[in-house]
Structure 1
Amino acid sequence: MSRPPLPIGTWGSISTKVIKTDKNGKPVKHQAQTKFCDHDGHVRQVSAVGTSKTGAETALKQKLQDRARTNQSGALTAMHKINHLLDQWEGRFEGLVADGRRSPTSLDTYRRALKNHVRPALGELRIGEATTPRIGTVLTKIKTTAGAATAKTCRAIVSGAMKLAVRYGAISVNPVREVDTIEAAPKNPPRALTGEEVTLLRKSLAADERAVEADLPDLVAFMLGTGVRIGESLAVLWSQIDLEAGTVEITHTIARIKGEGLIRKATKSKAGERLLHLPNWTLAVLRSRHAAGIRLDDPVFADTRGGYRDPSNTRRALRTALSPVGSTARRDLGLSLRALRSETGMTRKQVADHLNWPQTRVELMETGRIKVDHQLVTTLVATYGIDLDHLHGLRAQVQDAIRPAESDKLAWIRSHALRKTTATALDQAGHTARQIADQLGQAKVSITQDIYMGRQAANPAAAQALEHAFDDLDLP
């Protein structure tokens, strides 16, 4: 039986021979050679030399790998490493970003997933070794260790790369196609705020010095009145506000790009570019800010230096403002606990290690950002050699701190809850899903319906229709 032909881009067995010796007959130069099937289908002899047999073989293998990568058609083979495929896929995506067809924030997200998950798990495999079961196992592990959202991102990357491999002829079928869909119920399904919660939220922010300093009351009012994303809110310039017509033009969003910093970029899709009419209470907020003096090219919600605000920092400020620190007693208790630790000379890490706690728990207790109870504080101060029952002042602080605060009702709120609240209010007012999607800047109505529109009671006229349909039934 004849030997099967070499696949394109691969080579046969490597042989070595001595091609030079010194005056004592000791080998000083070796040659390694093999046959390589080039990308035009011709099999050619390829060789390399080295001072030792191993050195010659290593040099030849490097030469063969470089030759396999270099070809006129840009084709891939099943023998290429997946890392090489991912390099090509990433380069193509970078081109789409440069052309404005993909978002630079998506590229950042994909790069993190590539570095942390996809390349470590699959990068050193050959393209032909990336079978459906193997990829499925990898994605399942990523879902377990990093979560469903990360696993979905990784699945999209691998699927896109394998499509490229199919297009270039390395494989005939995308192995990701048959991998199970990654599904997971959200840990905290988004819900809309009630009218009472909206009132409490605005009052709570207005009364919180740190929230006012972070310019959150007006920003939250703007987001509730428009339904825009937090990045879109921070990208609005005064030139895009028409106080007479009562409108705002949404065209950009703020994003932080690695290596570039904060940028003002076009919205996620064409649907994101929209002209929105503002409710009177939102207009009142903007008129008040406008009266304080503005420049048309300034952001409406600027940072302390008049530049663009970081969306991540703004979300963090909102989380801090809404975290359970509603009572002064919690903050006072935190200061007391911090002072006790300082007296002992211990660091937070030392305390956390001693109690086998996460370090953040100690930090949250000392900043008053966690609900505490008598047992939790007793355990902590025991580390400092203190019996809580013997410190009447501290015990009284604990009793005050464990009482529920009104603002505890707001601790669950995140920026997307404001967006859902706007959508739900419009839904309850009888607006169509298409109208609500246009307000939110979403191209797909299905996303608006599934995520942002709250479930209401089924058609109330259904009962009446069924009653008329079956009211003459002669039941036994």
Structure 2
Amino acid sequence: MKKQRNANGEGSIHQRKSGIHEGKWVSQITIGTDPDTGKPKRKTFYGKTRLEVKAKMKGAMKELEKGIDLQAQSKLTFGEWLITRMDNYKKMEARLATWENYQRSVKNHIYPELGNIPLGNLNTNDIQKLYNKMKTNKSASATIRRNHQIINSCLGQAIKNRLISWNPATAVTLPKLETKQIKAMTKDEMSAFIDSIETEILRAAFLTLLGTGLRLGEVLGLRWQDIDFRKKTINIVQALVRTKSKGLIMENPKTEKSKRLLPIPNEIAVAIQLHRMKQGKIKRHAKENYVNNDLIFCTNSGKRIAENQ
């Protein structure tokens, strides 16, 4: 069949007579120049009808007009761009524990399902199928939303880098967050609990948790320099977290708002002062075996306490 030249000079559209694409319609457009040879780089479009190919070709032309780098896009799968984005952009801003959570999400969910799809071909249905599969496999809504956060930000960066013109993750439907009803202790239960920890060496830590609403990691990250007994305040500037690569580490709070100065009730201030006296005796007994990390709550050798201890 004779090739039909488009009036706007986009290129020819013709039907293949042999090969693996026999019977299909095909056309090409120039998307850039090979930096090594200086020769034009072309993108090929296939379709069952001439109109299908023409529509694909016009879509690509519009992308080029918007400044999209189709040459760079054609070399990338979504998985390759995902790894690039994580390593070159996200890693520098994420805390270690957060980074490790991101890596698990990419390894266990995102890459196996979406990694081999060409970046320019990834669509909303592909992403939605991943979330639906996770939901079917009993993944928590928060886990699905964390995966979405990674995918959405990755594609958002691709737009900034002129690799795509639209983010298909913006059109998905996300599961509602499950709200778990938290049962608070009654006054009698609270009194019984406080009585049960009367001789507990970390009694002050439990009272601090109960009386301030701090997270466990924040309490275990408290240092003596963070507490002002005269003003009865504590300054939250770090938290103890467990990481896979480095074990227990101290990290800054997730956000600037998480850094805060809190008042502490007099009863808790007294309990912490008594705890300091007990800690002093432990230090003197341990002598050089005690590692002074300035931690309010620590092991008998001054080391960090794991949250599950």
If the length of structure 2 is used for normalisation, what is the TM-score?
A: 0.71
- Greater helix content: 1
Structure 1 range deviating more: 191-200 or 276-285:
191-200
Matches within 5 A, 1:290-369: 290-294=276-280, 297-311=293-307, 313-314=308-309
**Using a 3 Å threshold, how does the CA distance of structure 1 residues 75 and 304 change in structure 2: closer, same or farther?**
farther
Query: Deviation at 1:140?
Result: 1.2
Matches within 5 A, 1:54-133: 76-78=72-74, 80-91=76-87, 92-97=89-94, 103-133=95-125
Query: Deviation at 1:218?
Result: 2.6
2:28 counterpart of 1:5: yes
The answer to whether the 8 Å contact 1:81/1:125 transfers is yes
Match of residue 147 from structure 1: 140
2:28 is paired with a residue whose SS is coil
Give me the CA root mean square deviation.
Answer: 2.8
Please list the CA deviations of residues 104-156 of structure 1 after superposition, one character each: whole Å capped at 9, or x if unmatched. 22211111100111011111111122111121011111122222121111111
Matches within 5 A, 1:29-428: 38=34, 42-43=39-40, 76-78=72-74, 80-91=76-87, 92-97=89-94, 103-145=95-137, 146-186=139-179, 188-206=180-198, 212=200, 215=202, 217-294=203-280, 297-311=293-307, 313-314=308-309
Alpha-carbon separation, structure 2, partners of 1:79 and 1:130: 14
Alpha-carbon separation, structure 2, partners of 1:218 and 1:173: 54
Query: Deviation at 1:233?
Result: 0.5
**Using a 3 Å threshold, how does the CA distance of structure 1 residues 292 and 78 change in structure 2: closer, same or farther?**
same
- Listed as ranges, the gaps of 5+ residues in structure 2 are 5-11, 14-26, 43-68, 284-291
Query: Deviation at 1:240?
Result: 1.9
Opposite residue 143 of structure 1, the aligned amino acid is K
The answer to whether the 8 Å contact 1:231/1:255 transfers is yes
The answer to whether the 8 Å contact 1:80/1:126 transfers is yes
The answer to whether the 8 Å contact 1:79/1:128 transfers is no
Alpha-carbon separation, structure 2, partners of 1:126 and 1:74: 12
The percent of aligned pairs where both chains have the same amino acid is 25
The answer to whether the 8 Å contact 1:108/1:257 transfers is yes
Alpha-carbon separation, structure 2, partners of 1:7 and 1:107: 39
When Rg is computed on C-alpha atoms for both structures, the one with the higher figure is 1
Alpha-carbon separation, structure 2, partners of 1:124 and 1:227: 45
**Using a 3 Å threshold, how does the CA distance of structure 1 residues 84 and 7 change in structure 2: closer, same or farther?**
farther
Please list the CA deviations of residues 139-193 of structure 1 after superposition, one character each: whole Å capped at 9, or x if unmatched. 111122222121111111111111122222332210010101221423x322433
1:169 is paired with a residue whose SS is coil
1:95 is paired with a residue whose SS is coil
**Using a 3 Å threshold, how does the CA distance of structure 1 residues 177 and 233 change in structure 2: closer, same or farther?**
same
2:150 is paired with a residue whose SS is helix
The answer to whether the 8 Å contact 1:8/1:77 transfers is no
Structure 1 range deviating more: 126-135 or 194-203:
194-203
Please list the CA deviations of residues 5-34 of structure 1 after superposition, one character each: whole Å capped at 9, or x if unmatched. 34648xxxxxxxxxxxxxxxxxxxxxxxxx
Query: Deviation at 1:195?
Result: 2.4
The answer to whether the 8 Å contact 1:8/1:38 transfers is no
**Using a 3 Å threshold, how does the CA distance of structure 1 residues 229 and 130 change in structure 2: closer, same or farther?**
same
Count of residues in Structure 1 that have an aligned counterpart in Structure 2: 247
Please list the CA deviations of residues 72-129 of structure 1 after superposition, one character each: whole Å capped at 9, or x if unmatched. x9984055111111112211101223xxxxx222211111100111011111111122
If the length of structure 1 is used for normalisation, what is the TM-score?
A: 0.48
Match of residue 402 from structure 1: none
**Using a 3 Å threshold, how does the CA distance of structure 1 residues 248 and 44 change in structure 2: closer, same or farther?**
closer
**Using a 3 Å threshold, how does the CA distance of structure 1 residues 292 and 122 change in structure 2: closer, same or farther?**
same
